[in-house]
């Protein structure tokens, strides 16, 4: 009976691979890699010649059966493009299937962009939550941000460079201006750790085009309850949510909770905002 090894690989600097990971990658009979080209560079660097198959989001169900068959007689290593497999990457369904089939699963820990960004952020690390990648579409992203607006723990998430500004705008509108660390290209040649507030981050990245892989570390909500928003702020956030495609009802519910306003009052403003928007077309 084979073993599935869940193996962490470097998030940038190839020297961050562990000795145990190198040994396992040499000794297994098969490597299931999210990006075979990226993994091939790592294997070449350390003179490892283990056969590989691709294993990514769009073929994982097909590959799952192939890997289960291989485990009947072989050991298999699962690696993602970078960092710890299954953490905001394909693989957890495979781990479930392997466990259900009765095969052992072992982890070979190592680099993680989540923990690296958190450790270098200077923000509280005793308790945190991880959101993975923020949703691509603005209404969904705003719903996620609204759900964690009052979360006191440090918040970690990923974001793509072409969506960074939009995400920062939503964070500012929904969560308010608070401490933020933006980690870019961690462990790589052009690593950048930017620290400031959400508002100053917007100013910085509007002037400096975002490039690379981004990990955001956002301070948790303050422990004191905020006072009710002014009407101008309620109207502004309502308008932004409605314009992004959110329904009046959903927008009103979220803004009412964030602004500490009665929901019916906010809904009436939402109706007014939609009417004004339509009249201006």
Nearest to 155 by CA among 124, 113, 186, 183: 124
Contact 186, 117 (CB under 8 A): yes
Computed on alpha carbons and rounded to an integer, the radius of gyration of the chain in Å comes to: 23
Question: Which residues span the domain enclosing 92?
Answer: 4-111
Q: Is residue 11 part of a domain?
A: yes
Residues 32 and 79: their CA atoms lie apart, in Å, by 6
Q: Is residue 157 part of a domain?
A: yes
Burial class from Cβ neighbours inside 10 Å (0-12, 13-18, 19+) for residue 162 reads exposed
H-helix or E-strand spanning residue 219:
none
The more confident residue out of 228 and 15 is 15
What CATH number is attached to the domain comprising 124?
A: 3.30.950.10
Judge if 236 and 213 occupy the same domain: no
Judge if 188 and 254 occupy the same domain: no
Judge if 104 and 16 occupy the same domain: yes
Decide if pLDDT at 185 tops 90: yes
pLDDT at residue 103, rounded to an integer: 97
Strand order from edge to edge, sheet including 179-184? 128-133, 154-159, 214-218, 179-184, 192-197
Q: Is residue 225 part of a domain?
A: no
Cβ–Cβ contacts within 10 Å for residue 69, how many?
A: 10
> What percentage of the chain exceeds 70 in pLDDT?
95
Map tokens 């905002």 to a residue.
273
Last residue of a domain, one of 175, 197, 218: 218
Decide if pLDDT at 281 tops 70: no
Confidence of residue 191 (pLDDT cuts 50, 70, 90): very high
> Parallel, antiparallel, or unpaired: how do β-strands 30-33 and 52-54 relate?
parallel
pLDDT digits (tens, 9 = 90+) for 231-260: 888 888 888 888 877 888 888 888 888 888
The more confident residue out of 169 and 246 is 169
pTM summary value: 0.79
pLDDT digits (tens, 9 = 90+) for 196-234: 999 999 999 999 999 988 999 999 997 655 577 888 888
Decide if pLDDT at 276 tops 60: no
Judge if 135 and 93 occupy the same domain: no
Decide if pLDDT at 279 tops 80: no
C-alpha dist (Å) from residue 51 to 30, 77, 278: 5, 11, 60
Last residue of a domain, one of 111, 141, 164: 111
pLDDT digits (tens, 9 = 90+) for 118-160: 999 999 999 999 999 999 999 999 999 999 998 999 999 999 9
Q: Is residue 118 part of a domain?
A: yes
pLDDT at residue 274, rounded to an integer: 63
The more confident residue out of 114 and 273 is 114
Residues 61 and 57: their CA atoms lie apart, in Å, by 8
Mean pLDDT of the chain: 91
Decide if pLDDT at 30 tops 70: yes
- Structural domains in the chain (count): 3
Judge if 160 and 75 occupy the same domain: no
Judge if 135 and 100 occupy the same domain: no
What CATH number is attached to the domain comprising 73?
A: 3.40.1010.10
pLDDT digits (tens, 9 = 90+) for 227-239: 778 888 888 888 8
Judge if 143 and 107 occupy the same domain: no
Positive or negative CA dihedral for 181, 182, 186, 190? Answer: negative
> Parallel, antiparallel, or unpaired: how do β-strands 179-184 and 192-197 relate?
antiparallel
Decide if pLDDT at 170 tops 90: yes
């Amino acid at each position: 009976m084979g073993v599935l090894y869940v193996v962490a690989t470097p998030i940038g600097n190839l020297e961050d691979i562990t000795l145990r990971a190198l040994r396992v990658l040499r000794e297994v009979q098969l490597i299931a890699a999210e990006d075979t080209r990226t993994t091939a560079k790592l294997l070449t660097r350390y003179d490892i010649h283990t056969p590989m198959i691709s294993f990514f989001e769009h073929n994982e169900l097909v590959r799952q059966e192939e890997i289960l068959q291989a485990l009947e007689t072989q050991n298999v290593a699962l690696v993602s493009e970078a960092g710890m497999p299954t953490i905001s990457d394909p693989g957890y369904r495979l781990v479930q299937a392997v466990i259900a089939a009765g095969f052992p699963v072992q982890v070979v820990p190592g680099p993680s962009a989540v923990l690296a960004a958190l450790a270098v952020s200077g923000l509280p690390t005793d308790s945190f939550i991880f959101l993975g990648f923020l949703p691509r579409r603005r209404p969904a992203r705003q719903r996620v941000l609204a759900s964690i607006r009052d979360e006191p723990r440090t918040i970690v998430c990923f974001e793509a460079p072409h969506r960074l500004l939009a995400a920062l705008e939503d964070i500012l509108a929904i969560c308010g201006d608070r401490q933020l660390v933006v980690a870019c290209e961690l462990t790589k040649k052009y690593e950048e750790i930017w620290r400031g507030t959400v508002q100053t981050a917007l100013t910085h990245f509007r002037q400096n085009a975002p490039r690379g892989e981004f990990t955001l570390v956002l301070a948790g909500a303050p422990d004191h309850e905020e006072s009710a928003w002014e009407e101008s702020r309620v109207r502004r956030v309502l308008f932004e949510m409605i314009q992004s495609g959110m329904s009046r009802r959903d927008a009103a519910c979220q803004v009412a909770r964030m602004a500490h306003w009665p929901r019916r009052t906010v809904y009436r403003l939402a109706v007014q905002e939609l009417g004004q928007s339509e009249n201006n077309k």
